């Protein structure tokens, strides 16, 4: 229970961070989760926590919601669920933490990958990729945010509408893992705790959104995520005996 409590605290702060900025929180949380959960539980438990976090942000910001671009995103998400959902069953779940770590490093330091991700100007395609990639790495990053920032000037509308899009992604992700046989009831305590901490974090983030300057986050976030990713890689190298084989 102590690990679950610590994870709940981390979830509170990452959810608050996402409530303030609309990005970063889910990826940071995902980076910490391999330290507390088995590999097979990371994606579905993370999806449950992020679903609660995004739904609560939608509720707290419901008056700033805009549905104009949600429909094409949802259509793409359905396609992503169907295409990638047939592939995830062939993946060795013990490798999920490594997928997460490598994806974090690529998105933070590869200019080519970042240019590619930011070049998507179509919500159908973004929904497809965000849902599909999310089945393997949990939080594919805010692919939808750059385009939303082009469409809207109001940050409240951006965060709330983006949260609705991510809600769609997490619902479809949980559906796939339920079909694959993941036993959500076996993790009900940590899921409930994280749902509560995510909702409280979202509430705090919405209240603090216009009071705390977060410009420093764009500079600090790559380094925070890199440290987390390297820790995941190191832990898995020790777990699988790769360090011993190399030296």
Confidence of residue 72 (pLDDT cuts 50, 70, 90): very high
* 125: pLDDT strictly greater than 60: yes
Distance separating alpha carbons of residues 130 and 149, to the nearest angstrom: 17
Question: What's 233's DSSP letter?
Answer: H
Does the pTM surpass 0.95? The reply is no
- 8 A C-beta contact, residue 98 and residue 232: yes
Question: What's 90's DSSP letter?
Answer: G
Centroid of chain to Cα 241? 29
Confidence of residue 61 (pLDDT cuts 50, 70, 90): confident
Average pLDDT estimate for 54-64: 85
Confidence of residue 141 (pLDDT cuts 50, 70, 90): low
What does residue 127 show for φ and ψ, rounded to 5 degrees?
Answer: -60, -40
DSSP string, 169-201: HHHHHHHHHHHTT--GGGGHHHHHHHHHHHHHH
Distance separating alpha carbons of residues 37 and 28, to the nearest angstrom: 15
**161 or 27, greater pLDDT:** 161
Average pLDDT estimate for 56-66: 86
DSSP string, 8-76: HHHHHHHHHHHHHHSSSHHHHHHHHGGGTS-HHHHHHHHHHHHHHHHHHHHHHTGGG---TTHHHHHHH
The total number of structural domains that make up the chain? 1
Confidence of residue 175 (pLDDT cuts 50, 70, 90): very high
**pLDDT computed for residue 71 by the predictor:** 95
- Residue 159 neighbours by CB distance under 10 Å: 27
* 16: pLDDT strictly greater than 80: yes
Range of the domain at 164: 2-246
On average, the pLDDT of the chain sits at: 84
Q: Is 116 exposed, middle or buried (0-12, 13-18, 19+ CB in 10 A)?
A: exposed
């Amino acid at each position: 229970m102590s690990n679950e409590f610590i994870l709940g605290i981390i979830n509170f702060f990452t959810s608050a961070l996402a409530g303030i900025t609309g990005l970063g929180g889910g990826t940071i949380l995902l980076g910490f989760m391999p330290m507390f959960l088995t590999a097979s539980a990371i994606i579905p438990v993370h999806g449950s926590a992020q679903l609660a976090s995004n739904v609560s942000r939608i509720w707290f910001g419901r008056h700033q919601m805009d549905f104009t671009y949600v429909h094409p995103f949802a259509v793409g998400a359905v396609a992503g669920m169907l295409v990638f959902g047939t592939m995830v069953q062939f993946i060795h779940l013990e490798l999920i933490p490594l997928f997460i770590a490598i994806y974090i490093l690529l998105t933070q330091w590869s200019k080519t990958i970042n240019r590619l991700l930011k070049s998507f100007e179509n919500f159908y395609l973004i929904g497809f990729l965000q849902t599909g990639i999310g089945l393997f790495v949990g939080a594919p990053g805010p692919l939808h945010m750059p385009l939303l920032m082009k469409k809207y000037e109001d940050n409240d509308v951006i965060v709330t509408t983006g949260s609705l899009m991510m809600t769609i992604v997490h619902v479809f992700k949980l559906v796939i893992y339920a079909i694959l046989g993941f036993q959500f009831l076996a993790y009900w305590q940590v899921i409930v705790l994280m749902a509560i901490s995510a909702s409280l974090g979202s509430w705090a983030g919405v209240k603090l959104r216009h009071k705390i300057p977060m410009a420093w986050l764009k500079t600090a976030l790559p380094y925070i995520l890199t440290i987390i990713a390297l820790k995941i890689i190191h832990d898995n190298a020790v777990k699988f005996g790769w360090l011993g084989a190399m030296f």
